[in-house]
Amino acid sequence: MPTLPTAASISVSDPQRRSPLLAIKPLERLFAGLPDPILLIDEDGLLRHANRAALRLLGRSETHFGVQTLASLVADDTTRCTALIKQGLRSAVPTPGRLDWRTADGRVLPCRVEIALLDAAAADTKALLWCRLTELRLGNSQFEVLNQQIEALKREVSRRQVAESEMRQQSEWLETVLQGVTEGVVATDTSGLVLFMNQVAADLTGAPRALSLGRSIKDVVQWHADDAPTPSAAVARTLQQGTRHLRLEKVKLQHRDGSEEWVQVSVSALQDESGGRSGAVLVMRSLDEEMKAEAQRRSLELQLRESQKMEALGTMAGGIAHDFNNIVAAILGNVELALGDVPPDSAGAVSLQEIRKAGRRARDLVQQILAFGRRQSNQRSVVRLHALLTEAESMLRAAVPPGAQLLLDAQPDLPPLMANATQIEQVLLNLIGNALQALHGRPEGRVSVAASAWQGDIGPAAPGELQVLPPCGWPGHGVCLVVQDNGSGMDAATLSRIFEPFFTTKPVGQGTGLGLAVVHGILAEHGAVLRVASTPGAGTTFSLWLPAALSVQSPQRDTAAHLESTAAPAPHLPHPVSRILYVDDDDAMAFLVRRFLERNGYQVHTCETPMDALEVLAAGADRFDLCITDHNMPGMSGLDLAAAMQAQGYRLPVVIASGFISDELRARSAEIGVAELLHKPDTVEELCRSIERVLTIRGEIPADQRR
């Protein structure tokens, strides 16, 4: 039997919809050659067209057919005809039925009828249906009925097969989707038996998927004892009451291997087509990565707070050290003057020498504070850590308790570092010295120092390890140094404070509490990574990573290196009376320096501010041979004074004195043309040698040409 066109394949234009029966030319041509009797009718039952096979079956001709209704051509009750038309309007799939037709000669012709929608109604047109007729021969009526039933059964079986195939495809598609999600999904029936479980849920619970289907969800998904009542009750309530959605933000899931994992849980009811309860679905999302990220965030926040605290302490310490530096300089300077005024073997000289010793210790303490505040000089060069370790070992060997061991394991071909050798040596002496002291004289004590090349990612800190200086801009290669002891160790509270300035666990008089604070400042300045782990009674381990130098070539000499002479002290040469302008906002320092220099044969004029000095120079710069100025002064620094003197055309050499000399100060001093940088506090001899060096270099410029 030929396949008839469907509503999707044929469309009738509006004029054709409204035309007489024989005017539907496209459809007429389409149906004309079909062997099956075909009628076209609209939704009102009005006959629009009949092909030749239909005319032949009904014994009618086109000229005598006329415009008629379908009901006028049948011998049956018109209600059956109307019912068939209504059924046909519902679907493009043919609806079977039976009608008795009346032929032109008056005979009743039983026919099997199939009617279906051809084109749906539009705004100004009516729906169009097609109707196929099949004559039922009376002699074979029973077989025809049976065949019709068989055909109907075939169509029903085919329809069900198509529906089952579609359902199977949808089921496979749904399972593929659920297997691809990152959450664990478990679906149950109304009894709580598992119907579906994706692989993520199997991984979270440790229950194999194949063995979980058909089992109770209570046996498949197990919760930690402390949390079990809450999620179990949520599942039970959903199964019993059909609760639409329940959510638990954080519960602990128990894995089959005994491990635990925090998950977020949501439970929802499943409904059938009628809206009744058909089961529940449990969705579990692992919080492992989120909790790790949160822990890392808290750790970074703690490190940031610690870094800000250390930076604030460093700034405060640096400011205090600057003022304290002037006080120490005044004390030491006046002691030197006083020692020159009393007999060397007098009791007063002995007391003054003790004051000088204490003052020098105070000066060393100031240098440690400045190092912690990162306000010390930080000239760097290519450094070999192996050589520094060997030197530190030789210096500390005498401090090793009897029976204890100091073990050094350092590869001689370690990558070179771009570092300040003095500061790195200070770090080594401090860490190794602290480790030796932590042994408390134990004869079985051991301090091991290991240095090795490192390349690649440093990785996260180990559990219990304090991340002091995190990786930041790490180049990926360098040297790893580990200092480990088996001494007394520290608890967590002590470990968290060891880098605070003036915090110490040593007895009074045996420690300043600045050693590790200085180590922290130096390593932070060098871009190092620092971690500490300690266990009470078991010992402490300091692990630090120092970045390698980008180049092993010897660095060029600093352009401002001439500002700080490292040559042997120049001899005290006879000189004509030199006239010096000294600028310092500290009255005690100004008084001290003036006494120093006048005692050594210089003429000195002091000014409290740079503006006072500029006024004095404006009144007659040729009265002076040299200007010495403090650097750190309010309003206008010594460097600003030197720049102003240069801008105003004074050719007077300038020496700048500062308690801390940074790389920036060196560079700017070189740009301006500062004759020399002088570190204070220094002795009067060093000050005089500096004056002699400058005046000797500038001696070719007569005083009357310095304006």
All structural domains of the chain, each given as residue ranges with its CATH number in brackets, are 14-136 (3.30.450.20), 181-286 (3.30.450.20), 297-367 (no CATH), 381-547 (3.30.565.10), 561-705 (3.40.50.2300)
Mean pLDDT of the residues in the chain: 78
pLDDT band at 5 (very low <50, low <70, confident <90, very high): very low
Of residues 617 and 70, more confidently modeled: 617
Q: Token pair of 573, please?
A: 């040469």
Mean pLDDT lowest among 238-242, 293-297, 340-344: 238-242
pLDDT at position 458, please?
79
Number of neighbouring beta carbons within 10 Å of residue 591:
15
- Of 60-74, 301-315, 362-376, 430-444, the range with the highest mean pLDDT is 430-444
What's the one-letter identity of residue 329?
A
Minimum mean pLDDT among 153-157, 445-449, 538-542: which range? 153-157
Specify the range with the lowest mean pLDDT, choosing from 94-98, 103-107, 554-558, 606-610. Answer: 554-558
pLDDT at 627 exceeding the cut of 90: yes
Q: Is residue 378 scored above 70 in pLDDT?
A: no
* The predicted structure's pLDDT at residue 25: 66
686 membership: H or E segment, kind and range: helix 684-697
pLDDT band at 612 (very low <50, low <70, confident <90, very high): very high
Cα-Cα-Cα-Cα dihedral sign, residues 494, 498, 500, 501: positive
Q: Tell me the two tokens of residue 292.
A: 């790790």
Q: Give every strand in the sheet of 529-535, ordered side by side.
A: 405-410, 446-455, 477-485, 539-547, 529-535, 466-469
Predicted confidence (pLDDT) at residue 93 exceeds the cutoff of 80: yes
**Orientation of helix 515-525 relative to helix 421-438, angle to 10°:** 140
Q: What is the DSSP letter of 223?
A: B
Distance CA(432)–CA(450), nearest Å, equals 11
Tokens 């579906």 sit on residue: 196
Judged on CB neighbours under 10 Å (0-12, 13-18, 19+), 224 is middle
pTM: 0.39
Torsion sign (Cα): 484, 487, 491, 495 = negative
Residue 369 belongs to what H/E stretch?
helix 347-372
Asked which of 15-19, 89-93, 107-111, 205-209 is least confident by mean pLDDT, the reply is: 15-19
- CA 551 to chain centroid, in Å, comes to 31
| Whether 90 contacts 117, CB under 8 Å | yes
**Closest to 658 measured CA to CA, from 597, 589, 580:** 589
Alpha-carbon dihedral 166, 169, 171, 174, rounded to 10 degrees: -120
Tell the burial category of 362 from Cβ atoms under 10 Å away from its Cβ (0-12, 13-18, 19+). middle
pLDDT value for 248: 80
CB neighbours (10 Å) of residue 137?
Answer: 9
244-269 mean pLDDT: 81
Largest CA distance in the chain: 163
**DSSP string spanning 398-458?**
GGSPTT-EEEEEE-TTPPPEEE-HHHHHHHHHHHHHHHHHHTTT-TT-EEEEEEEEEES--
Structure tokens, 61: 């001709």
Say what percent of the chain tops pLDDT 70: 80
pLDDT at 639 over 90: yes
Weakest mean pLDDT among 209-213, 486-490, 505-509, 522-526: 505-509
Structure tokens at 447: 């301090």
Among the ranges given (324-328, 592-596, 612-616), the one the predictor scored with the smallest mean pLDDT = 324-328
pLDDT of 548 > 60? The answer is yes
Give me the pLDDT at residue 558, please: 34
C-alpha closest to that of 555 among 382, 417, 378, 379: 382
Rounded-to-integer distance, Cα 205 and Cα 251, Å: 13
Q: How far is CA 113 from CA 422, 511, 645, in A?
A: 108, 111, 118
| Residue 598 vs residue 556, higher pLDDT | 598
Specify the pLDDT at position 572.
42
Question: How much is the pLDDT for 331?
Answer: 85
Angle, vertex CA 370, rays to CA 368 and CA 371, nearest 5: 65
Q: How confident is the model at residue 684 (pLDDT cuts 50, 70, 90)?
A: low
Instruction: Single out the residue of 74, 75, 55, 72 nearest to residue 63, CA to CA.
Output: 55
DSSP type of residue 188: E
pLDDT at 569 over 90: no
Residue predicted with more confidence, 2 or 415? 415
Tell me phi and psi for residue 519, to 5 degrees: -60, -45
Task: Considering only residues 531 and 522, tell me which one the structure prediction assigns the higher pLDDT.
Answer: 531
* pLDDT over 60 (residue 262): yes
Closest listed residue to residue 594, CA positions, set 609, 581, 585: 581
HSE, CB side, 13 Å, CA atoms: give it for residue 450.
11
Confidence bin at 704 (pLDDT 50/70/90):
very low
User: Is the pLDDT at 136 greater than 70, yes or no?
Assistant: yes
Residue 321 has pLDDT above 80, yes or no: no
3-state helix, strand, coil in the chain (%, to 5): 45, 25, 35
Torsion of CA 612, 618, 619, 622, to 10 degrees: 110
Q: Residue 228's pLDDT is what?
A: 64
Residue 707: is its pLDDT beyond 60? no
More confident residue, 284 or 441: 284
Taking 70 as the threshold, does the pLDDT of residue 16 lie above it?
Answer: no
Count the alpha carbons within 13 Å of 308 in the hemisphere toward its beta carbon: 6
Mean pLDDT along residues 88-95: 86
Per-residue confidence (pLDDT) for residue 368, from 0 to 100:
64
pLDDT mean over 253-274 = 82
Sheet with 95-102, edge to edge strand ranges = 47-50, 38-42, 128-135, 108-119, 95-102
